[in-house]
Amino acid sequence: MKFFIVKTVAETLDVIANHFHPIVKPIEVPLIEALDMVLSEDIVAGGQVPHFDRSTVDGFAVRAKDTYGASDSLPAFLTVTGKIEMGKEADQALKEGQAQAIPTGGMLPAGADSIVMIEHVEEIDDLLNVYRQVAPGENIIRAGDDVNAGDLVMAAGQRLRPQDLGVLSAIGITTVRVYPRPVVAILSTGDEIVSPDKKELAPGEVRDINSMTIGAAASQCGAQVIYGGIVADNYEAFAAKAYELFNQADLLLLSGGSSVGTRDYTEQVMQSLGKPGVLVHGVAIKPGKPTIVAKAGEKPVMGLPGHPASALIIFHLFVVPLLKKLQGQSPAQIDQRIRARISRNIPSAVGRSDYIRVKLEERPDGLWAVPVFGKSGLISTLVRSDGMVEIEANKEGILEGDMVSVHLFQ
């Protein structure tokens, strides 16, 4: 038998970070279709937002110095000379001793420098009694307060969230250049694997789980998925189908069996697709050791473990960052994992990263991560789990009560 020189989790992540990049040219899409896509260009504002001084309250536009010293007992008296309409310019400038009614969001008239809130005035006969003084700029958003012309509003590599689309709308951008959704093809292999729609299983047969699980996970990451079906453990058939899918996709995922024989096939098939070939053959991780990363031309090809729970854990660890790379997304600046306490001691072998499935529990003293045990072949353990906890390769385990980071399954 053959022993692989396995890489660590960090080394494997480095391979992914350094060998792959977006291989498809950016496309232009309407903003309305750009949610969750990744910008391929910097966005610089062409104008100001807002492009005029606006009131932030309902009230009266005034000159601040006309209100100085005003109080409940000694109000300032101003003459109301107009009413500003929403979305329109004032038809007259404001002079000393004058006020103009203004709604929230209304445009400040020339000559005014602040707004007195409606709660602090009273109109008595023809005079506006002002009971509070205001400072220049009070209750106003200035032109350019939100965005100034020339501002770098958003950098290439940003995944577009709802608020990002909002600020683009504000500056009048209605189409953006983004990286297209990568096409991910999935092929399951194994003589024992049959389609989920087979009603009665023969002895020894199991239904395909990974196509569905991995396909759904890839589409959550913004990929378009080609379901390649199932191919038997026959090198010719496997290689032919893999080649066909490889040509249609930006990333080919092979969900192999976990037997040595199948792993050998998978590796040979991956090598047959092109140079440089296999970059990572096996990772020091549990579960998920038989993970293979290859590159054929510029395209990535990955071999995932056959066990469904292992395959999904490997997807979260390695395929998610790979899909981000293929979409040109900037690496996350912060660790968005949830912190919780582990509910029991878990031993681990040094030199290997262990991933423990956990269920989160809210207890009076905080959030706890309760391990969900089960062999890596079991998919039901993942259904009962909220996420996974890493025990790093240099640790002999974690102790009950230790604070751990939980990578949530979405």
**Which residues in the 183-242 window bind a second copy by CB under 8 A?**
190-194, 196-199, 201-217, 219-220, 227, 233
**Which residues in the 246-265 window bind a second copy by CB under 8 A?**
257-262
- CA dihedral sign, ordered 35, 37, 38, 44: negative
Contacts of 330 (CB under 8 A, 6+ apart): 155, 156, 157, 158
**Which residues in the 348-377 window bind a second copy by CB under 8 A?**
360-362, 367, 375, 377
- The binding track of 299-338 with respect to a second copy, each residue x by CB under 8 A or -, is -------x-x---x--------------------xxxxxx
- 298 touching a second copy, by CB under 8 A: no
Scanning 4-12, 67-75, 79-87, 270-278 for contacts with a second copy by CB under 8 A, the matching segment is 79-87
* Residue 227 beta carbon to a second copy: minimum distance, rounded to whole angstroms: 7
**Which residues in the 380-399 window bind a second copy by CB under 8 A?**
380, 382-383, 385-386
Site for a second copy (CB under 8 A): which residue of 161, 235, 276, 351? 161
**Cα dist from 103 to 22, 64, 382, whole Å:** 49, 18, 55
Within 13 Å of residue 42, how many CA atoms lie on the same side as its CB? 7
* Residue 9 beta carbon to a second copy: minimum distance, rounded to whole angstroms: 19
Scanning 64-72, 74-82, 345-353, 379-387 for contacts with a second copy by CB under 8 A, the matching segment is 379-387
Q: Is 198 exposed, middle or buried (0-12, 13-18, 19+ CB in 10 A)?
A: exposed
**Cα dist from 211 to 169, 298, 306, 388, whole Å:** 38, 24, 11, 21
- 141 touching a second copy, by CB under 8 A: yes
When the beta carbons of 26 and 190 are compared against a second copy, the nearer one is: 190
- 104 touching a second copy, by CB under 8 A: yes
When the beta carbons of 95 and 339 are compared against a second copy, the nearer one is: 339
* Residue 223 beta carbon to a second copy: minimum distance, rounded to whole angstroms: 12
- Per the rule left: phi > 0, alpha: psi between -120 and 50, beta: everything else, 273 is alpha
When the beta carbons of 33 and 298 are compared against a second copy, the nearer one is: 33
Site for a second copy (CB under 8 A): which residue of 19, 29, 56, 132? 56
Site for a second copy (CB under 8 A): which residue of 21, 95, 339, 344? 339
- 80 touching a second copy, by CB under 8 A: no
Q: How many residues bind a second copy (CB under 8 A)?
A: 107
Helix (H), strand (E) at residue 205 = none
* Residue 281 beta carbon to a second copy: minimum distance, rounded to whole angstroms: 17
- The binding track of 8-27 with respect to a second copy, each residue x by CB under 8 A or -, is --------------------
* Residue 275 beta carbon to a second copy: minimum distance, rounded to whole angstroms: 30
* Residue 392 beta carbon to a second copy: minimum distance, rounded to whole angstroms: 17
Angle CA 277–282–284, to nearest 5: 145
Helix, strand, or coil (residue 277): strand
Say if residues 325 and 19 touch (Cβ distance below 8 Å). Answer: no
Question: Would you report the helix, strand and coil content of the chain in percent, each value rounded to 5?
Answer: 20, 35, 45
Distance between CA 100 and CA 166 in Å, rounded? 31
Scanning 17-25, 100-108, 128-136, 392-400 for contacts with a second copy by CB under 8 A, the matching segment is 100-108
**Minimal CA–CA distance to 286: which of 8, 4, 12, 2?**
8
When the beta carbons of 180 and 190 are compared against a second copy, the nearer one is: 190
What stretches of 89-230 show up as alpha helix (H) in DSSP? 162-170, 210-220
- 94 touching a second copy, by CB under 8 A: no
Distance between CA 153 and CA 45 in Å, rounded? 6
Count the Cβ atoms, other than its own, within 10 Å of residue 399: 10
